[in-house]
Amino acid sequence: MYKDFVNFVREVYQSGDFIPLHGPVFAGNEKKYICDAIDTTFVSSVSEYVDQFEQKLCEFTGAGYAISVVNGTAAIHLALHSLGVGASDEVITQPLTFVATCNAIVYTGAQPIFVDVDWDTMGLSPDRLESFLESHGQIKAGVTFNRITGKRIAACLPMHTFGHPVRIHEIVKICEKWNIPVVEDAAESIGSTCLNQHCGTFTTIGVMSFNGNKIITTGGGGALLTDDGELAGKLKFLSTTAKNPHVWKYRHDELGFNYRMPGLNAALGCAQMEQLSDKIQDKRQIAKAYGNFFASQSYDFVHEREDCYANYWLNTLIMPNEEDKDAFLEYTNKQGIMTRPAWDPMHFHDRFSSNPGVDLGVSEDLYRRAVNIPSSSRV
């Protein structure tokens, strides 16, 4: 099967060379817009391209406001900070995630609490979340605390794993019952929707990433999405060093962050946005081809849920066991086909090993058996 898979991937991508997991494609106005940004000399955050990029994000996602920043990690940090998450707090998240999710939590002084994921979404499980809050949560004066640690549960941070929408409606409903704000980590899910609503717009704040391995890239980059105009103004203010508006005075009355997206990056993003719909359609065609290929194999290909539309950022296989996964990874990479396992669960890292968590078996099993396969757009 391994050899058949390698031949199939080379056929899909029409290439006998190295095939990356997810490489960027620059097939539009990228060079034109970047050169134009240079010619204007407005290459930093004061740039028309920043404004245009944010507007394009709003038009595509349906969000009322978009605030562009330097990367997705900064976006998560800023979102949590704006909600008042701080020292001695806890934030619920999933253990199967990229380390940036937990890093951003720790930047605020808070600590992550790990709740397991669902098999089909690979994202935070609402059933496990509800169970955890019923056994560990305690509301005092409208604020939810962890009755075991005594700390405030200040936020919940679910992620749409590999572009597959999590059960966000159920998560939001549970958190509303417990007065816990939700920050939606949509770093991997631009173009993914659930019940025709774009990921990142189901909560007060959603965050996105435009790293070089994402469907569209600004080189580095991220954004925050919100429908709250007042909050959008605050997020923009905090991301631009919290400088009070004035022609010449430098006044900074609260803690701010230099998280501004430069105009050069935004120019690249504007060109990428023009191609986004075509890229997603192509990626879905690739996913369909993978699904057909694996239908007769003893490997489970992760499909979108019926009520969701996935961007298939990273196509995913669930192998029969860990030994098969390791053999598959070794063979494909030796053949120049880049494949990767899922991330090490966060509670496997020494610095998060003592964080609260209950029955994280699904995350651990996915770690042992999940593999990402080439998923780059061809357009």
Residue 262 per-residue DSSP state: P
pLDDT of residue 253: 87
Q: By residue range, what is the domain housing residue 58?
A: 30-273
Report the pLDDT averaged over residues 159-178: 98
| Confidence check: pLDDT of 356 > 70 | no
Q: Would you place residue 5 in the very low, low, confident or very high pLDDT band (cuts 50, 70, 90)?
A: very high
Domain boundary among 241, 273, 305: 273
pLDDT of residue 216: 98
Among the listed residues 271, 179, 181, 274, the one whose alpha carbon sits nearest the alpha carbon of residue 226:
181
Q: Do 155 and 138 share a domain, yes or no?
A: yes
Among the listed residues 64, 52, 43, the one whose alpha carbon sits nearest the alpha carbon of residue 270:
52
Q: Do 203 and 294 share a domain, yes or no?
A: no
Is 378 part of a structural domain of the chain?
no
pTM of the predicted model as reported, rounded to 2 decimal places: 0.96
Q: Do 12 and 131 share a domain, yes or no?
A: no
Residue pair 215/280 in contact by the 8 Å Cβ criterion? yes
Q: Do 149 and 237 share a domain, yes or no?
A: yes
Is 89 part of a structural domain of the chain?
yes
Report the pLDDT averaged over residues 91-101: 97
Q: Do 67 and 167 share a domain, yes or no?
A: yes
Q: Do 80 and 14 share a domain, yes or no?
A: no
Q: Would you place residue 286 in the very low, low, confident or very high pLDDT band (cuts 50, 70, 90)?
A: very high
| Confidence check: pLDDT of 163 > 80 | yes
Tokens representing 360 are 């994280």
- Tell me the C-alpha distance between 289 and 185, whole Å: 28
pLDDT of residue 355: 74
Q: Do 109 and 203 share a domain, yes or no?
A: yes
Q: Would you place residue 357 in the very low, low, confident or very high pLDDT band (cuts 50, 70, 90)?
A: confident
- Biggest CA–CA distance in the chain, Å, is 68
- The owner of tokens 């939606």 is 184
Q: Do 182 and 254 share a domain, yes or no?
A: yes
Instruction: Convert the pLDDT of each residue in 236-261 to its tens digit.
Output: 999 999 998 888 999 998 999 999 99
Q: Do 283 and 332 share a domain, yes or no?
A: yes
Q: Do 140 and 74 share a domain, yes or no?
A: yes
Instruction: Convert the pLDDT of each residue in 112-135 to its tens digit.
Output: 999 999 999 999 999 999 999 999
Neighbours of 33 (CB within 10 A): 23
- The owner of tokens 């189901």 is 202
Tokens representing 313 are 């950022």
| Confidence check: pLDDT of 207 > 70 | yes
Instruction: Convert the pLDDT of each residue in 36-64 to its tens digit.
Output: 999 999 999 899 999 999 999 999 999 99
The enclosing H or E element of 107 equals helix 99-107
Q: Do 334 and 187 share a domain, yes or no?
A: no
- Tell me the C-alpha distance between 166 and 122, whole Å: 8
Domain boundary among 225, 243, 273: 273
| Confidence check: pLDDT of 235 > 70 | yes
List beta partners, residue 337: 19
- Tell me the C-alpha distance between 173 and 159, whole Å: 16
Task: Give me the percent of the chain exceeding a pLDDT of 90.
Answer: 94
- Tell me the C-alpha distance between 160 and 194, whole Å: 11
Among the listed residues 328, 275, 279, the one whose alpha carbon sits nearest the alpha carbon of residue 299:
328
Q: What is the total count of domains within the chain?
A: 2
The residues near 11 (Cβ < 8 Å, ≥ 6 apart) are none
Mean pLDDT of the chain: 97
Q: Do 19 and 42 share a domain, yes or no?
A: no
Q: What CATH code is carried by the domain that includes residue 13?
A: 3.90.1150.10
| Confidence check: pLDDT of 182 > 90 | yes
E strand residue ranges, 212-298:
222-226
